[in-house]
Structures are given as structure tokens and as C-alpha cells.
Amino acid sequence: METITVLQWAFDALLGAALLGLAWWLLDSAELFRAIVLFIAFGLLMALAWVRLDAPDVALAEAAIGAGLTGALLLAALARLESKNQTKTNHKDHRGTEVHDGQR
Amino acid sequence: MTDNGKQQMPFRLLLAVLLSTLAAGLGYAVLSLPSLAPGLSEQVAGKLETSGVSNPVTAVLLNFRAYDTLLELGVLLLALLGVWSLRGLPERRESSPGPVLDTLSRLLVPLLILVAGYLLWVGAYAPGGAFQAGSVLGAAGVLLLLAGWRPGARFAGLRLRIALVAGLGVFMGVGIMLILVGGHFLEYPPPFAAALILLIEAAATLSIGLTLAALFLGDRPETGARR
């Protein structure tokens, strides 16, 4: 019984730390594509956190809307932004590959 | 980049101070909460029998606080109207889906529709409900759009618009009908509550799914009349 409690504490701590770390990382990344992928990963872990908080309804909504559809919408918006940039400056890689990664 | 970093240093410090203050305040608020707070769960449990469903979350969302859910559907519709009002959106690059996506979407879309129907039905008894089912339906729509499917002119006109407002329309219609038969707005009579909730949720699921897929598409679908 005790080992299970310890394992649950460890899992929750890891989950919380991963969420905070992912949030920091995605806000800090200047490359939009990577930020969106990190946002989707954040949403999936957030859904897991809701399950741990005994809120499966919210977890379902978070996984489907927060991670899935919002991610798809953001990627669609990014595709439009890039096609706009591409028509302006016709010589960039399809993902605007300049990686602005000053802080890291 | 280092110059830029130096210039941003005071700003970042200010941000860190503000965020730490916010975190400290939130931490204090959480720690000062009473450890055993029953909230409103007892009232919900007491009235659950009259709500028409046995899942307390659905009872709150579709019966006790149905007004909130009604307004949420309105917000979703407004978001789509906002996107459709935008002009001069940059074109999205179309890419051919390839055989894997093409085959997979054919296999997955019927399955997603089935899952959406299941989530809609099970919402009365267990976690699930209109928003979850609608977002699964929306995911099926996104998959179809990614695989190159576009709404035809016949579907994109009045039919699409009716389906988009069906959720809000049925919700409002039920509420107004209940006023007309002598009750209050959205106060379901217990014998009909289960059927009314299922009706509203079914219409809402369809509308939510279509709205989310239409948001993904972005452009207002051509109706054919304008061409």
C-alpha cells in the first residue's frame, strides 16, 4: 500500500514538473512550429493531470479540444502565415527554418 | 541575439517578479482553502434524480446550469462568424494527401462518427457528452479536410448553415417552448428531462463538430450561387 502511495506521489510530481517545464519551453521557443507541437504535448499531459485529479470529463474535453483540435487549428493558421510569408519573400525554406534560439 | 537578450533583461526581471507575486498569491489562496470543501456536490446529488441523467457533470451542464452551456454554443458560433467575416486570408498550400492519409481517413472517419455517437449517448451515465462527442466529430471533419475533401456547393449553402445553428436553435427552441407551456426558461419537467437533454445534446454535437471543422477550413465554403 505504501509503495503505491509513494509511486503516485512521484508520478504526480513528475507530471507537474513536466507540465511546468513544457509550458516554459513552449513559451520560450521562437520557432512557431515547435511551439505548437509542444503545446499539443502540453495538452496531452494536462489531460493526464485531469485524470489524476479524478476529473475524467475535463480530461476528455482537454484531450479532444485542447490538444487535438486547437493544435490542428494552430497548425492550419501557421500554414497560412507561412504561405503569406512565402509569397512576400520567395526564398525561404517551407518552415521558415531560421531557428531563433537565443536563450538556449 | 546576445544584444537582444541584454536589452530584454530588465523586462524579463520585471516579468519574473510579477509572475512570482502571482504564484505566491495563488499558492496562498490554495493553501488557505479549507481542506474539506463540499462545494455544491451535495445539492447536485440531492437533485440528481430529477435531472433526467445519472452523470452529475452532465446534470450540471445540461440541466442545472444549462444557460451556461447555451451561451457556450453561442460563443462557438460567434467565433465561426468572425472567421467567416475575415477577407483576404492568405491561401493555404494544398498538398496531395498521399495513400496513407487517404486510406487511413477512409477507415477512421466512420469509426470516429461511431465514437462520437457513443460519447453522446454515454454522457447521460458516465463521462462524455455533447462537447466531447462534437470535438470527436470535428476531428473526423478535420481528417476529411486534410485528405482533400471539400464541401460541395449543394451541401455548403443553406444545409450547412442550418446544421451549424441547429445546436443553438434547438437549445433556444426547447427553452422558449418550456416558457410557452408555462414553465421557466430551460426548466425541464422531470419526466421529459432525459429526452430533452438527449435532443439538445444531439443537435449540439452536430453543430459543434461542424463548427470546429469549419473553423479548421477557415474560408467560408463557396455556395455556388456567387460563382
pLDDT at position B12, please? 87
Tell me if chain B has a CB within 8 Å of the CB of A65. yes
Tell me if chain B has a CB within 8 Å of the CB of A20. no
A67, B141 contact by CB (below 8 A): no
pLDDT at position B1, please? 47
pLDDT mean over A21-33 = 91
* Selection from A24, A56, A50, A59 nearest residue A39 by Cα: A24
Q: How far is CA B126 from CA A61, A67, B67, B129, B190, in A?
A: 14, 22, 21, 9, 20
Q: B127 contacts in A (CB within 8 Å)?
A: 56-57, 59-60
- pLDDT tens track for A36-80: 999 999 999 999 999 999 888 889 889 888 888 899 899 888 888
A63, A44 contact by CB (below 8 A): yes
Q: How far apart are CA B161 and CA B155, in angstroms?
A: 9
Instruction: Report CA dihedral (B206, B212, B213, B219) to the nearest 10 degrees.
Output: 120
Residue A103 reports pLDDT greater than 50: no
Cβ count within 10 A of residue B122: 16
Q: What is the chain A residue with the closest CA to B129?
A: A57
Q: How far is CA A56 from CA A63, B126, B159, B205, in A?
A: 10, 9, 34, 19
Q: Output B191-198 pairs: Cβ under 8 A, ≥24 positions apart.
A: B192/B52, B193/B50, B193/B51, B193/B52, B193/B53, B193/B63, B194/B52, B194/B53, B194/B124, B195/B52, B196/B52, B197/B52, B197/B53, B197/B58, B197/B62, B197/B63, B197/B124, B198/B120, B198/B121, B198/B124
Does the predicted model carry a pTM greater than 0.90?
no
Q: How far apart are CA B128 and CA A56, in angstroms?
A: 9
List chain B residues with pLDDT less than 50. Answer: 1, 226-227
Q: How far apart are CA B187 and CA A90, in angstroms?
A: 59
- Chains A, B: CB contacts within 8 A come to 58
- pLDDT tens track for B48-100: 888 888 888 888 888 888 889 999 999 999 999 998 888 777 776 667 778 88
What stretch of H or E contains B218? none
CA distance B127 to chain A (A): 5
Look at A61 and B89 and tell me if their CB atoms are within 8 Å: no
pLDDT at position B112, please? 94
B154, B120 contact by CB (below 8 A): no
pLDDT at position A96, please? 45
